[in-house]
Amino acid sequence: MENISPTVLNVFDEARLLGEHTDLIIRANDREFQVHKIILCGCSPYFRVLFSANWTRIPEHFYDIPGLSRNIMSLIIQYAYTASVLITEENVLELLVAADQFLVSGLVDACCQFLESRLRPENCVGIRMFTEDFHSCSKLCRKAKLYILQHFEEVLQVSEEFLELSLEQLEEIIEKDELNVKQEELVFEAVLHWIDYAPESRRKHITMLLPKVRMGLMTSDYFINNVKSNALVMENEACTPLIINAMKALFEFDMDLHGPISLELIHQLTRPRLPSAILLAIGGWSNGNPSNVIEAYDAKADRWVSVTLEDERPRAYHGTAVLDEFVYCVGGYDSVEYFNSVRKLNLITQTWHEVAPMYERRCYVSVAALDGFIYAIGGFDGHGRLKSAERYDPDTNQWTLTASMNERRSDASATSLHGRVYICGGFTGTECLFSAESFNPDTNQWTLVAPMRSRRSGVGVIAYGDLVYAVGGFDGANRLRTAETYNPQTNIWCDIASMYNPRSNFGIEVVDDQLFAVGGFNGLSTTSDVECYDEKTNEWFDANEMAIFRSALSCCIISGLPNMAQYAAQRDTVQIQDESDSE
């Protein structure tokens, strides 16, 4: 069909509607359709075989299609003539079944794309079950399965069809490393919820499902009070060895009666799930030179993993942003050149590509993403500090200059929150700045907001919750441990708890609802240490440090990828590393 020009198809479609030159009739649910045999044969191998066979006693110019509504038959024919049809939530499932039956591959793909674009926590289980028996929908089925894993907590809250999963389907979900849950306790609650839907027939399945729950990741209090003492677990003798082994893993002791627990079983019970989001630390300044190192932080395992690619170029004092499955590295410096270049990393294929360069060379640049665009703001071009800003559109691969800031600033930091871009602090060439500005893309205007309480150059700025955080930096005399938050609703800055270590020119991001400060310069040297902040407790905590000391790096968050495991710690080695760390 793709080899027939649209003009020819339009002529045939007009002839069909007028009943001209048609050579057969198709009947569906008592409605007759006059069609051209050649058009339907070109659209579907099914029709090609049907029209060439002589197995029917009905005359060759007349074919009855049983079990199909007249509306769906009309849409199939319309697609055959126009390669286009209106797909709606009301007709998509019936249309997909018919398209699969008649081997109309283009229409099958269109229906699958429609359903994929509408995957939601409330319908993803239904789409997964519906497509499982359709070989032609295998890609959509995989997407639905991945969606369930990534949105499991939301699915539990709103999906009625979750309770209709078969035992095998539920096992397949909860055994996966990719299952996205904040606490393993939720997996056990999901099992109980599923059993309670049909307790008489399902209560026996606790012995099949409990081993899939990683009980060694639970808190000991929850395990004792909710798992070990659960009525279903207690009444089923086959659960007893599972509970004993979980207690060994949780409390690190052996029960002489049952013998020691194997390392393999400990690993099965305590194997961390894969993270739904991973922090990337890209480039920077290390050992007196720009670096090309990329490390990925797996918060579930508290591990850094090197994911550096061979063709990555050294870059420091740059910015990064993530759009879809791409990481963009913007501007920066390699000890020789101040860059206006921008490179993007395809996170799925793990390949780098050059995109359109910026108007200005920008080292010490501030970068933020908002509404599918990337903003590159301020910086240093090798001659002076900049107040200009520009915006990148990935759809057109073009940069566009926006309004300039009110102040020149390099070594600032930017983020986006509630439809605005915020930039804070920086260096004018003569002084470190208190000031902060917000950009409204609708009016293309920068507005000065309340100044920070401290001067901060080399500051880390990030949106966290409903606030803008400004962390660390250099005030012209000292590297800072302090941090403060800006509330756009009140236009007020407030101090929060200080970091353990002073730092400037570090990476900053939010992952797993915690703010991470990564590496930087502490006033004496670059550092590899990492700490994280919890807004609920207003406390900082140590996290595992990077493999290399570096400052002038940039951090970003990747999520929702089909290949997240490539950026995570190897699950087969995490437990062994944990044991060696404790020796």
Beta-sheet strand order (sheet of 62-64) = 31-35, 24-28, 62-64
Domain 6-118, CATH among 3.30.365.10, 3.40.50.11540, 3.30.710.10, 3.40.50.720: 3.30.710.10
pLDDT(301) > 70: yes
Q: Where are the domains of the chain?
A: 6-118, 165-270, 277-572
pLDDT of residue 39: 76
How many residues comprise the chain? 583
Average pLDDT of the chain? 90
404's tokens: 């300039």
The rounded distance, in Å, linking the Cα atoms of 545 and 523 is 18
Tell me whether the CATH fold assigned to 6-118 matches the one assigned to 277-572. no
For 214-223, what is the mean pLDDT? 94
For 61-69, what is the mean pLDDT? 79
Centroid of chain to Cα 194: 27
> Which of 480, 508, 499, 479 is closest to 542 using CA atoms?
499
The rounded distance, in Å, linking the Cα atoms of 27 and 67 is 11
For 19-23, what is the mean pLDDT? 66
| 450: region left, alpha or beta (phi > 0 left; psi from -120 to 50 alpha) | beta
pLDDT of residue 67: 80
* Tens-digit pLDDT profile for residues 160-170: 999 999 999 99
For 394-400, what is the mean pLDDT? 99
20's tokens: 């001209």
pLDDT of residue 56: 52
φ and ψ at 11, to 5 degrees? -65, -45
Q: pLDDT band at 80, cuts 50/70/90?
A: confident
pLDDT of residue 17: 62
pLDDT of residue 193: 97
For 76-82, what is the mean pLDDT? 86
461's tokens: 């700025």
| H-state helical runs in 472-564 | none
pLDDT of residue 257: 40
The CATH code of domain 277-572 reads: 2.120.10.80
* Tens-digit pLDDT profile for residues 243-256: 998 998 888 644 44
pLDDT of residue 82: 85
Sequential DSSP letters for 41-71:
HHH-HHHHHHHH----SS-TTEEE-TT--HH
Q: pLDDT band at 63, cuts 50/70/90?
A: confident
- With vertex at residue 167, the alpha carbon angle to CA 236 and CA 114, rounded to the nearest 5 degrees, is 155
For 435-458, what is the mean pLDDT? 99
* Tens-digit pLDDT profile for residues 102-120: 899 999 999 999 999 999 9
Q: pLDDT band at 571, cuts 50/70/90?
A: confident
136 or 517, higher pLDDT: 517
> Which of 101, 22, 38 is closest to 66 using CA atoms?
101
pLDDT(49) > 90: no
- Which string of b and e fits 209-223 if b means at least 16 CB within 10 Å? bbbbbbbbbbeeebb
* Tens-digit pLDDT profile for residues 481-527: 999 999 999 999 999 999 999 999 999 999 999 999 999 999 999 99
**Which residues lie below 8 Å from residue 56, measured CB to CB, with a gap of 6+?**
63
pLDDT of residue 123: 97
Percent of the chain with pLDDT over 70: 90
pLDDT(306) > 50: yes
Q: Are the C-beta atoms of 63 and 24 separated by less than 8 Å?
A: yes
Q: Which CATH class is domain 165-270?
A: mainly alpha
Q: pLDDT band at 81, cuts 50/70/90?
A: confident
Give the predicted TM-score (pTM) of the model: 0.83
The rounded distance, in Å, linking the Cα atoms of 333 and 477 is 24
